[in-house]
Structure 1
Amino acid sequence: MGNPLLDAEDARERLEAWQANASRRAADTQAAAAGLRALRVTATDAHGIVEVTVDSTGAMADVRLSARVQRMGLEQTQQAIMGAYRNARVKLAEAAAEVVRETVGADSATGRALLAGFRTADTEDEEGRY
């Protein structure tokens, strides 16, 4: 049978290591959440006519139109706005993935959960940017 004092010391060391690891994971998760909340990205349509900014939720926070929009039809303008918006959402998902990678790790359960809200049909489009 082992020495009870050594076993108790070993158990105490394991518990302290577990507590330190849990504290580090909690701090990393808080840093990831704060970084994600702070995200705000801007992107343009494929022709640089419209610029859209989205906040951390993916909601449109700003839209800017170049003077060239005056020479476009309504349908082209709508397509440019939607293209810029989709590109901004893709860029937001990429920025979110970077924040998660740098904090909790994109392959961790926490990372996957944090990134789930940033995945949209826009970010999974196989043809890339609009």
Structure 2
Amino acid sequence: MGNPLLDVEDARERLEAWRANASRRAADTQAASAGLRALRVAATDASGGVEVTVDSTGAMADVRLSARVQRMSLEQTQQAIMGAYRNARVTLAEAAAEVVRETVGTDSATGRALLAGFRTADTEDEEGRY
């Protein structure tokens, strides 16, 4: 039979390792959450005539139009705004993935859950930028 004192010490060491791991994961999750909330990214459309900024929720926070827009039709301008917006959402998803990769890891359950909110049809598009 094993030494009961060694068994108790082994159990204490395992408990302390578990606590340290749980504390590290909690700190990493908080860092990921704070990093994601702080995200704000901008992207342009393919022509460079429109720049859209989105906040961490993917909501449009700003739109900037260059002089090129004056030479565009209304329909082209609308398409440029939507293209820049979609590109900004793709850029946001990429930035979110980087934050998660550096904190909790993209392969962890926490990382996958955090990134789920950043996936949209825009980020899944095989063609990339608009």
TM > 0.5 fold call:
yes
Q: TM-score under structure 1 normalisation?
A: 0.99
1:56 Cα deviation from its structure 2 partner: 0.2
**RMSD over aligned Cα atoms:** 0.4
- Give SS of 2:10's match: helix
1:13 Cα deviation from its structure 2 partner: 0.3
1:71 Cα deviation from its structure 2 partner: 1.4
1:26-105 correspondence to structure 2 within 5 Å: 26-105=26-105
Distance in 2 (alpha carbons) for counterparts of 1:50 and 1:63:
7
1:68 Cα deviation from its structure 2 partner: 1.4
The aligned length equals 130
1:70 Cα deviation from its structure 2 partner: 1.2
1:94 Cα deviation from its structure 2 partner: 0.1
- Give SS of 2:93's match: helix
The answer for unaligned runs of 5 or more in structure 1 is: none
1:67 Cα deviation from its structure 2 partner: 1.1
- Give SS of 1:46's match: coil
Give runs of ≥4 in structure 1 deviating > 4 Å: none
- Give SS of 1:51's match: strand
Distance in 1 (alpha carbons) for counterparts of 2:129 and 2:113:
25
- Give SS of 1:76's match: helix
Distance in 1 (alpha carbons) for counterparts of 2:40 and 2:88:
9
- The match for 1:114 is 114
